[in-house]
Chains A and B, each alone.
Chain A
Amino acid sequence: MNVVLDNLFLRRPRIEYVSPPICEATVNTSSSGEVVTSSEDEVLIDLNSL
């Protein structure tokens, strides 16, 4: 962020609030995946050679 000056520095009362997380559902998973290797380099090399 660029420098932003607060010239006034007024008092800041402590107003805090958290939305109560009363959820409809909880998502569970037992399945696992495998990271797929990127083919980015291959594509770029080929395109540049055309």
Chain B
Amino acid sequence: MQQTNQPNSTIDIDSTFLLGCESDVSPSQVALGSSWMAINMLNLGGLWSCRPGYHCLATFPDGKLQGVARFHPVLGEEQILVAVAGRIYASSFPYIDFHVIEGLQFSPTAKQIFWALTTQAATRDTTDFASSISVIEPKSVLIIQDGGLSAPGWYDGSNSGHIKGNLYETPAGGPMAWVGDRLWVATDNQVFASDISNPFSFREQIYLGGVSSFFFSAEVTAMVPTPSIESPQLMVFTGINGSILQANIRNRDSWPTTPNFQEEVVQVGCLSNRSALSHYGQVVWFSPSGVSIYDPATSGKLTSRLPVRDNEMLVSKVVLSDDLSQVAAGAFGQYLLMSVPAEDTHNRHTWVLNHASLSTLSDESGPSWSGYWIGTRPVEWVSGIFAGQERIFHVSVDYDGKNRLWEAFNPNRLDNGCPITWALFTRGYFGTTSQTGKPPGFRVRFQWADFTVAGVEEDLDFGVFYAGGTSGAFKPIANTLIRSLRGSMDADTEITMESEIFAFKPQSRTIQTVDADQQSVLTSDGSAGVEREKISNIDRAFQLLVVGHGPCTLREIRAFSLPEPENPAGNPKAFCGESCLNAVRYDGLATKSNNFKSVVDALSDAPEAFYTSSKTVVLEKNGFKAIGIGFASSILSQAAADRVANIVATKRADKDLQAMLPPVTSVGLGLEHTG
């Protein structure tokens, strides 16, 4: 039967989400246009969408995963280098055929590998200090370090080796940068600069004050070129501050006489070399207090107030590990990614900042947080132009302990062809920022919500939960499977040269929940009598949790409620204490009793809305057989977990079967030239 809202129903609505996430305030105070938090979603054009997909390219041998880098030769195609247990693996596009670079061996236990892509245009003719210089055809050289445990290494695309046995060559160290045609190498609290256009020669000895290097107040933790309009300079971080070196000045003789050649500009340090990068004209890094952003163009190299920019990510920030030395940042177009050790010692959460949430033409839309992504545990990100296209990759220590290379931002919104689990925690509808005419603070009786979704490219599990703004667990009010076909191909249809193959358009829906006011068990989360007086659907505001498995875009959310009369009398129990033992589980489930054991048993025995599934699929073709195993979890239903696990198992078996089957070569029938 068609549900109709009663005449006195009030409506609250979100038709744009351009302001992203804001989890540092109560959901009822989250601003219009914002959401409380999003998982595996992207905020673009005011719409929430399932995040772009990941594509797994290669699994590496076991051992300490130490990093990934891009090597860009002066001529030729880009390579990706991956460091595992001291060995360096390299591959050209499409980055699935990796080989060990012989002649390079770093410490297998080094915490990380440092990389610097340089351009060598000069070389020394001999190894002595007064060696003459020869100008050579410029070539790209990647300098590689492991923090000083091994001699520096180099790789030019075909040749490689370690730099050793010469006192005037590249010092062993950690963070490096190529700025002003010099290689800058940090060792402990010192920074050395190479000779011009030669990352192998460190003979030139002009620094400041007659010493043999630039000195800093503590160990140098990170170095990053600044996006200065004049010319790139070098920002050098310790754990407690950040300084600028005017590394763009080519004439070394003028360094000692240049005012403020080395100057401390911020009293905010950086703990991870991988967290510092230039993005959208600003330097971004992860400080001991969180994400910091510094704009060298507007700061005028003055020490400036530098508030952290990530309190909106509080729900993830409060579960960060103490060791932040391996936080890893990446940049892809307008998006900044910051992989952090949340709920883990590895980087389990990747925070996503959209630097242009709505308008790019007028450049008037500020940045917004798109929540965090889960799925892999990135160790290092690398991005740029690969094979003529902007791409971004990361290496990850995955949950099974394997080291893998992944490409991110795959527009199909599937991870290796499988549905991605995503979730959106909305603002508190009918709260202080609502669009209703309700007096602020008055209670309402939540009825239902509906969701306008688009971009449903294939089958989609879609579920909705609601919870009171002040207490209570999330309670399900919708759980449905949207059926959407992708295109005109399937496994049972023979395709010939005459077959017409085409994709179907992604679909839209408006999905309405049940009426919470009509649900039979309203107090099933136990919160009534513990954290609240009223039943579950009576509160000052209501937060919705939307969860999906599959590609989808959220366009609009409408929530409906009935006014709830306030009790005009005072509380006769205002001077009475609570007598029972009260306890609330992590998910909001509550109970009370006079017996401690009863309380604990009630919460430990209560079912969790968490379903897991493991499926096995066997595929057979032309006598070849492949078995795939898939695993999935869901908070929606067992059926949803089963569906996703089945897809994963099928994709695995399909991948194995493809590898086993002999290649099919067309004989060209149907392609004869008839003209």
Contacts and interface: CB of A to CB of B under 8 A. Distances in A.
Physical interaction between A and B:
yes
B399 A18 contact: yes
Interface in B568-626: 586-588, 608-610
Nearest to A19: B375
Contacts of B609: 13-14
Given A40-B171, A44-B187, A35 B288 contact: no
B610 A14 contact: yes
Interface in A19-38: 19-29, 31, 33-38
Contacts of A33: 86-87, 100, 102, 104-105
Nearest to B341: A1
Interface string B416-450: 11101101000000000000000000000000000
Given A38-B172, A40-B171, A25 B57 contact: yes
B164 A39 contact: yes
Given A20-B652, A42-B167, A35 B105 contact: yes
B324 A1 contact: yes
Nearest to B651: A22
Given A1-B322, A29-B100, A33-B87, A20 B416 contact: yes
Interface stretch (B117-125, B359-367, B502-510, B629-637): B629-637
A36 B105 contact: yes
Interface stretch (B246-254, B313-321, B385-393, B667-675): B313-321
Contacts of B288: 1-2
A40 B648 contact: no
Contacts of A5: 318
B58 interface: yes
Given A4-B318, A11-B588, A21-B404, A38 B149 contact: yes
B151 A22 contact: no
Contacts of A24: 56-58, 94, 96
A11 B98 contact: no
Contact of A21 (B56, B87, B588, B610): B56
Contact of A19 (B54, B151, B213, B545): B54
B400 interface: yes
Interface string A38-50: 1110111011101
Interface residues of B, number: 94
B212 interface: yes
Contact of A43 (B54, B61, B171, B317): B171
Nearest to B171: A43
Task: Name, among A19, A21, A37, the residue most crowded by chain B CB atoms within 10 Å (CB to CB).
Answer: A19
Nearest to B324: A1
Contacts, number: 181
A32 B474 CA distance: 54
Nearest to A11: B588
B652 A22 contact: yes
B370 to A, nearest CB: 16
B40 interface: yes
Interface in B32-58: 39-40, 54, 56-58
B59 interface: yes
Given A4-B314, A48-B212, A50-B205, A12 B89 contact: no
A5 B631 CA distance: 35
A17 B398 CA distance: 12
A19 B61 contact: no
B376 interface: yes
A4 B587 CA distance: 21
B256 to A, nearest CB: 16
Contacts of A50: 205, 212
A23 B56 CA distance: 5
A34 B586 contact: no
B150 interface: yes
Nearest to A42: B167
Nearest to A31: B100
A17 B634 CA distance: 8
A22 B400 CA distance: 13
Contacts of A13: 423, 465, 474, 545, 587, 609, 635
Contacts of A43: 167, 169, 171-172, 202
B71 interface: no
B312 interface: no
Contacts of B322: 1
A31 B59 contact: no
B27 A14 contact: no
Nearest to A28: B61
Contacts of A19: 54, 56, 375-376, 398, 406, 415-416, 420
Nearest to B609: A13
Contacts of B150: 35-38
B663 interface: no
B173 interface: yes
Contacts of A6: 314-315, 318
Given A11-B467, A15-B423, A38-B150, A23 B59 contact: yes
A39 B57 contact: no
A16 B98 contact: no
Contacts of A25: 57-59, 96-98
Contacts of B61: 27-29
Interface of A: 1-2, 4-6, 8, 10-29, 31, 33-40, 42-44, 46-48, 50
Given A16-B633, A27-B89, A33-B105, 15 more contacts: A4-B317, A17-B633, A19-B56, A21-B402, A23-B59, A24-B96, A27-B59, A27-B60, A33-B104, A39-B151, A39-B164, A39-B172, A43-B172, A46-B167, A47-B202
23 contacts: A1-B288, A1-B317, A4-B318, A6-B314, A10-B27, A11-B588, A13-B474, A14-B586, A15-B421, A15-B635, A17-B421, A18-B398, A19-B415, A23-B404, A24-B57, A35-B105, A35-B108, A38-B150, A38-B151, A44-B171, A46-B167, A47-B192, A48-B212
The 3 tightest CB contacts between A and B, nearest first, are A33-B105, A11-B588, A19-B375
Interface of B: 26-27, 39-40, 54, 56-61, 86-87, 89, 94, 96-98, 100, 102, 104-108, 148-151, 153, 162-165, 167-169, 171-173, 187, 192, 202, 205, 212-213, 288-289, 314-315, 317-318, 320-322, 324, 374-376, 398-400, 402, 404, 406, 415-418, 420-421, 423, 465, 467, 472-474, 543, 545, 547, 586-588, 608-610, 630-631, 633, 635, 648, 651-652, 655
